[in-house]
Amino acid sequence: MSRRRVGLAFEVLSVMLVAIFLFTACAGGAAPAQPAAGKQPAAEKPAAEKPAAEKPAAKRKIVWMVRTNVVENPWEQNIVKPAFEKENPDITLDILIIDQPDIAVKREAMIAAGEQLDVWSTNWGGDGFASDRYRGLIMNLTPLIERDNLDMSVFIPEVLKIYNIEGKQWGLPLLTTGSYVFYNMKLFDEAGLPYPPTDWEDKSWTWDRMLDLAKKLTKNYDDPTKAQYGWIENRQNIEGPAMLFGKFPWPEGTYETGFAKSINLTDPVTIDAYQKHHDLIYVHKVQPDAAASEALSQLGGAFESGRVAMYETGGWGWWIFSRIKPDVEGGFCWGVAPLPWGTPDANIRAVIYTDPWVITRGLKGQELEDAWTFVKFLVREDNARSYMKATNTPPTQKKLQEEWFQQFECMKPEQVKEVYQGAFRHGLESSNHLLVRWDELNQIWSNALDAYFNDPNGKASDVLPQLEKDLTEALQRIADEEGYKFQ
Amino acid sequence: MAEETRRSTVAVASVVQTKPRLFQSKRFQERFTSVMATILATIGAMFILFPVAWMVSTSLKSEIEALKMPPVWIPAKPQWHNYRDALTFNPFGTYFKNTAFYAITVMIGEALSCSFIAYGFARLRAPGRNALFLLVLSTMMVPYQVTLIPQYILFSKLHWLNSYKPLIIPGWFGSAYLIFLLRQFYMTLPKEYDEAAIIDGATPLGIWFRIILPLSKPALGAVSIMSFMYHWNNYLGPLVYINDNSKFTVSLGLSMFRTPFGGTPWHWLMAASLAVVSPCVVVFFVAQRYFIQGIVISGVKG
Amino acid sequence: MVRILPKGKLARREALWFYFFIAPWIIGFLWFTGGPIVASFYLSFTKYNAANPPKWIGFTNYVRLVHDRIFYKSLKVSAYYTFLSVPLGITASLALALLLNQRVPFLGVYRTLYYLPSVITGVAVALLFQWLLNPSFGIVNYVISWLLGPKGVIPLGITGPKWFFDTKWVIPAYVLLSLWGLGGPMLIYLAGLQGVPTALYEAATIDGANAWHRFRHVTLPMISPVILFTFITGIIGSFQIFTQAYVISNGNGGPAYASMFYVLYLYLNAFRRYRFGYAAAQAWILFLVILGLTVLMLRLSRQVVYYEAPGEEEAI
């Protein structure tokens, strides 16, 4: 029996070795690897036809990779492509449209194979900006900006700064947004409560004030099918809850280098902050538990359902909620407020999310020129405006902002301006764009925090010390594996 | 051992002897089985239909209605135009044509080549056969996530990207899964046929074509259907190898509705999903009558 | 070395025919499949992030895996899932095939209905089940508490579990999801049942065998090769479950890593952290695990699987 098994293993190994040998021998021989060219059966004629790419290149092309999006895609295909090709008749713009969770699969394959890929956005799929910069995937645009004297003063300075590391500009921002509290005016009116403020400096807009409102706006908490919730927060990053209470857990300089030696989650204020968020669910009962939250925010629309009075989330609400109209069946008026003050010193408390256009590193000559022409085209005022108009997303340019403020039905332009811009003075870019191998860290804290927020008896003081230890260990391992030396 | 099993198959039947009772009359038994089977099948079907009903209901809602939690079961006003809107938002007509071309082309080649290869593995002896067969199986055991990039580089070198070639041509050289399946079927076909044919001077090629292919109609039917459905729904292949919107398949068309931050129009996605599934349903319904009949009518006479 | 051809003339001719028949597969393997597999084996000994050429680092990836807690966890999660879903899936789909092989009116309609879910694939199914199994709004828990809840028909005070949110129930939830695709194996069994000679049933019935005996001693042996197929491919497939978990857990494998399936973790290492070498090492360890299981199954099955074809004594 055992002799037979050895024999079988030997046979398998031999066959594999022969196969490997044959394959490598053939692949090594012919340059465009067609190892079995001599043995092609008749069925497979198409293989013999000459590659189309060999034709005399009359037109140059640019390959632009974007995400699937029912509002962005029509803009890209029906506005950008014709306009750009009209201006640049000798260039064809190829648009690759891919669902965001799957973008990395195709992008990494294209890069590994050296297929043409010119312009894309680092934060769509994969790990994010920091990883792409660190492994040398994207191009420093500063020399091009300086050569062409591109006017950078059109951009909101805080937003431009995010992708400027050590004096090098790695991308040009296409959309940006802070974090806000979106609120349902109809529910406030029904309860006879005043709306929250729009001024980020308004010190009366405290955590306790928010909690007080949330309690008054919560109804039928125990029956999820009938409940109305005072508050739901969309936790995205580990620093968010702590920042609300004036603590920033990452060491200084983390966002420039993309690496951190440690994280501080055991500060009493941070622990208290996480406990307060937990209490919203299990003590004050103004926020649904994780299961109901997810059902409401991922499967349905928590806010769109009209069952949440206040919804704390990233600023995508500005454009996603634009489909809620007061005059349509089931619709209502909504407003936007700053994040509340957890403590009086929580000056920087909003997480900002900004997406940049980048160019693949290693492009040369004409291809680089074409890609750069296209990026400049994308950030030019008229095209940034058409993007803003098509998608309702907030612009990254000062002049366009004024136009964007005009479009909200239930808020006055000056209110929109006040609350929208305040987030940038009181915010920091999200760690998910600025940490190398953020996804791995996210996996660690998501697993720990999801369990914590699912557990009615969870104690922040039990969970956070362990999480701090795990994260610090991971941070050091990541730096080690990526060959980064701390100063 | 196997031979023994076969003998016992027949032997046991003669050993087991029970006295006939009234309710054991053949006719009663048959009718009783039929009624019970129908009841069971109906109960099960309700479980299956439930999610489908939800899809249908969502496909008829307005955008905001589709987001309501708890869900509304009956749309206030059925939005039949969702189907038209969803299928014209992107050129689904083109996607259907592309997918039909790709799925049918690869299905025909795959079914034939797998049958051919499986015959070799099932009925012919050669040294190294088991090792080679294990090699066939082992190609299924390496997760595609790690072979994807090398494979992409390979097709890039062949200049096959942005065409259906990487999706179709490998299928013509057999798929491990279907080869394995057909081999298992072929190993149950009575070997007396081969022996008789060899005495008559037939070559293995002749045996495969004249005896095995006709005998394995149900298996080939199942394999063709599985191949077709797999390629009709294949998402990863087209995602990686197709670039131009005009060459997209239906699965890529469906992914085009996905919008970050909860912006996905569920009512359109469900309408389009149902539209994409419907050809599969029709194909299956028609095909199953052809190759799987009731147990009483068919069967190889042993 | 391996003898490609045996000694006798007849045997040699048969061997040549064998190679003729499997030639398409060999060509395809050398041309498309083999190279990438070999390449992934090579990559497992390198540090490779797609942006830069691979760098040889020997066994470092394998050594790191040995110290990776999540790696062990993911292997356990996938093994547990396989252990639950494969036997359950095979039993259920075989039962379904037997049921739909009876005289049922509108048989075609029923078969189509049961097959339908296996055609609805990908993201839509994952979302569908997230909704069906949602503890607060899902219909499954609604039905459970309607039947068995404190105020239910049979008041046992049982309410549904938290499914995807509970470390203990998350894997059963994925198993339920996998059962929805019963139609695929059902189709295979239906085709297999066609090959059972009617005469055997007739002979058995005349001899007075009841339904169970006919199933046990006629049907089961005759379709045992197909059952073996679904078993082996089931194991291979469930160890590689990915898409559903990627969508439902948002790529985190939560709660508390309870749904960190092996290939999900592998994918994250490859396409989220750009550790392609590490992921390749994971893939090859999985390969060995599955290969071992497959060989074991093939060996064990010799005792029970019934083959007609020549050479079955030595066939695997």
pLDDT for the residue numbered A338: 96
Across the interface, whether the CB atoms of A8 and B134 are under 8 A apart is answered yes
What confidence category does residue B238 fall into, taking pLDDT thresholds of 50, 70 and 90? very high
The shortest C-alpha distance from A69 to chain B (Å) reads 4
Q: C56: helix, coil or strand?
A: strand
Output DSSP code: residue B125. Answer: -
Written as six digits, the tokens of A276 are: 């307060």
A31 vs B102, residue with greater confidence: B102
Domains and CATH numbers, chain C: 51-119+183-301 (1.10.3720.10)
**Mean pLDDT value of segment C286-300:** 94
Q: Is residue B245 part of a domain?
A: yes
Q: B59: helix, coil or strand?
A: helix
Indicate whether B224 pLDDT > 80.
yes
pLDDT digits (tens, 9 = 90+) for A353-409: 999 999 999 998 999 999 999 999 999 999 999 999 998 899 888 889 999 999 888
The shortest C-alpha distance from B246 to chain C (Å) reads 22
- Residue C169's CB is within 10 A of a number of other CB atoms, namely 18
CATH number of the domain within which B116 lies: 1.10.3720.10
φ, ψ of residue A429 in degrees (nearest 5) = -60, 150
Cβ neighbours of B188 in C, within 8 Å: 195, 222-223, 225, 306-308
What confidence category does residue B300 fall into, taking pLDDT thresholds of 50, 70 and 90? very low
Instruction: Count CB pairs under 8 A between chains B and C.
Output: 373
pLDDT for the residue numbered C104: 82
Indicate whether C264 pLDDT > 90.
yes
pLDDT for the residue numbered B21: 57
A98 CB within 8 Å of a chain B CB: yes
Across the interface, whether the CB atoms of A292 and C165 are under 8 A apart is answered no
C53 CB within 8 Å of a chain B CB: no
Number of structural domains found in chain B: 1
Q: What gap in Å lies between CA A211 and CA A217, rounded to an integer?
A: 10
pLDDT digits (tens, 9 = 90+) for C97-119: 999 888 888 888 999 999 998 88
Across the interface, whether the CB atoms of B9 and C221 are under 8 A apart is answered yes
Cβ neighbours of C130 in A, within 8 Å: 294, 298-299
pLDDT for the residue numbered C120: 85
Which residues is A120 bridged to in the sheet?
Answer: A358
Mutation target vs B (from C1, C5, C21, C276; most B CBs, 10 A cutoff): C21
Q: Are strands A91-98 and A119-121 parallel, antiparallel or unpaired?
A: unpaired
The shortest C-alpha distance from C163 to chain A (Å) reads 9
List Cβ neighbours of C26 (8 Å cut-off, separation of 6 or more). Answer: C19
What confidence category does residue C309 fall into, taking pLDDT thresholds of 50, 70 and 90? low
Minimal CA–CA distance to B155: which of C24, A104, C33?
C33
The shortest C-alpha distance from A455 to chain C (Å) reads 10
The shortest C-alpha distance from B40 to chain A (Å) reads 32
What confidence category does residue A4 fall into, taking pLDDT thresholds of 50, 70 and 90? very low
The domain covering A179-352+433-481 belongs, at the CATH homologous superfamily level, to Periplasmic binding protein-like II (3.40.190.10)
Question: In chain C, which residue's Cα lies nearest the Cα of A34?
Answer: C31
pLDDT for the residue numbered A54: 47
**Mean pLDDT value of segment B244-249:** 96
Domain of residue B111 covers 90-256
Cα torsion angle, A470, A476, A477, A479, sign: positive
List C residues 228-287 in contact with B (Cβ-Cβ < 8 A).
Answer: 228-229, 232-233, 236, 240, 242, 263, 266-267, 270-271, 276, 279-280, 283-284, 286-287
Cβ neighbours of C256 in A, within 8 Å: 447-448, 450-451
Across the interface, whether the CB atoms of B158 and A34 are under 8 A apart is answered yes
**Mean pLDDT value of segment C214-227:** 90
A43 CB within 8 Å of a chain B CB: yes
Across the interface, whether the CB atoms of A19 and C137 are under 8 A apart is answered no
The shortest C-alpha distance from A181 to chain B (Å) reads 16
Among A32-36, A93-97, A213-217, A458-462, the range scoring the smallest mean pLDDT is A32-36
The shortest C-alpha distance from A291 to chain B (Å) reads 13
pLDDT digits (tens, 9 = 90+) for A223-258: 877 889 999 988 778 999 999 999 999 999 899 899
pLDDT for the residue numbered C316: 59
pLDDT for the residue numbered A248: 93
What confidence category does residue A11 fall into, taking pLDDT thresholds of 50, 70 and 90? very low
pLDDT for the residue numbered B33: 80
Q: Is residue B164 part of a domain?
A: yes
Q: What percent of chain A has pLDDT over 90?
A: 66
Mutation target vs C (from A297, A447, A477; most C CBs, 10 A cutoff): A447
Across the interface, whether the CB atoms of C38 and A448 are under 8 A apart is answered no
Touching partners of C (3+ C-beta pairs < 8 Å): A, B
pLDDT for the residue numbered C4: 67
Indicate whether C203 pLDDT > 70.
yes
CB-based contact C139:C176 (threshold 8 Å): no
pLDDT for the residue numbered B140: 96
Q: Is residue B243 part of a domain?
A: yes
pLDDT digits (tens, 9 = 90+) for A21-74: 444 434 433 333 333 333 333 333 333 344 444 445 568 999 999 999 999 999
Q: What gap in Å lies between CA A172 and CA B241, rounded to an integer?
A: 29
Q: Is residue B218 part of a domain?
A: yes
Cβ neighbours of A105 in C, within 8 Å: 271
Question: In whole angstroms, how far apart are CA C113 and each of A116, A382, B46, B273, C120?
Answer: 45, 53, 10, 16, 12
Question: In whole angstroms, how far apart are CA C22 and each of A19, A256, B119, B175, B176?
Answer: 14, 58, 8, 12, 12
**Mean pLDDT value of segment A178-200:** 95
C134 CB within 8 Å of a chain A CB: yes
pLDDT for the residue numbered A281: 94
Across the interface, whether the CB atoms of A299 and B172 are under 8 A apart is answered no
H-run or E-run covering C156: none
Q: B124: helix, coil or strand?
A: coil
Exposure letters C221-243 (e unless 16+ CB within 10 A, then b): bbbbbbbbbbbbbbbbbbbbbbb
Among B297-301, C45-49, C194-198, the range scoring the smallest mean pLDDT is B297-301
**Mean pLDDT value of segment B115-137:** 94
Indicate whether A175 pLDDT > 70.
yes
pLDDT for the residue numbered A232: 92
Across the interface, whether the CB atoms of C256 and A447 are under 8 A apart is answered yes
Mean pLDDT of chain A: 86
Indicate whether B302 pLDDT > 70.
no
Q: What gap in Å lies between CA C39 and CA C42, rounded to an integer?
A: 5
Exposure letters A217-243 (e unless 16+ CB within 10 A, then b): bbeebeebeebbbbbbbbbbbbbbbbb
Indicate whether B277 pLDDT > 90.
yes
pLDDT digits (tens, 9 = 90+) for A140-154: 999 999 999 999 999
Which residues is A219 bridged to in the sheet?
Answer: A228
Which pTM was predicted?
0.89
Which residues is A176 bridged to in the sheet?
Answer: A354
Indicate whether A80 pLDDT > 90.
yes
| H, E, C per residue of chain A | CHHHHHHHHHHHHHHHHHHHHHHHHHHHHCCCCCCCHHHCCHHHHHHHCCCHHHCCCCCEEEEEEEECCCCHHHHHHHHHHHHHHHHCCCEEEEEEEECHHHHHHHHHHHHHHCCCCCEEECCCCCCCHHHHHHCCCECCCHHHHHHHCCCHHHECHHHHHHCEECCEECCEEEEEECEEEEEEHHHHHHHCCCCCCCCCCCCCCEHHHHHHHHHHHCECCCCCCCCEEEEEECCCCCHHHHHCCCCCCCCCCHHHHCCCCCCCCCCHHHHHHHHHHHHHHHCCCCCCCHHHHHHHHHHCCCCCCCCEEEEEEECCHHHHHHHCCCCCCCCCCEEEECCCECCCCCCCCEEEEEEEEEEECCCCHHHHHHHHHHHHHHHCHHHHHHHHHHHCCCCCEHHHHHHHHHHCCCCCHHHHHHHHHHHHHCEEECHHHHCCCHHHHHHHHHHHHHHHHHCCCCCHHHHHHHHHHHHHHHHHHHHHHCCCCCC
Among B195-199, B278-282, C265-269, the range scoring the smallest mean pLDDT is B195-199
The domain covering A58-177+353-407 belongs, at the CATH homologous superfamily level, to Periplasmic binding protein-like II (3.40.190.10)
CB-based contact A296:B69 (threshold 8 Å): yes
Let me know if C296 is exposed, middle or buried by CB neighbors in 10 A (0-12, 13-18, 19+).
Answer: exposed
Q: What gap in Å lies between CA A257 and CA A479, rounded to an integer?
A: 11
pLDDT digits (tens, 9 = 90+) for A453-466: 988 999 999 999 99
Across the interface, whether the CB atoms of A330 and B89 are under 8 A apart is answered no
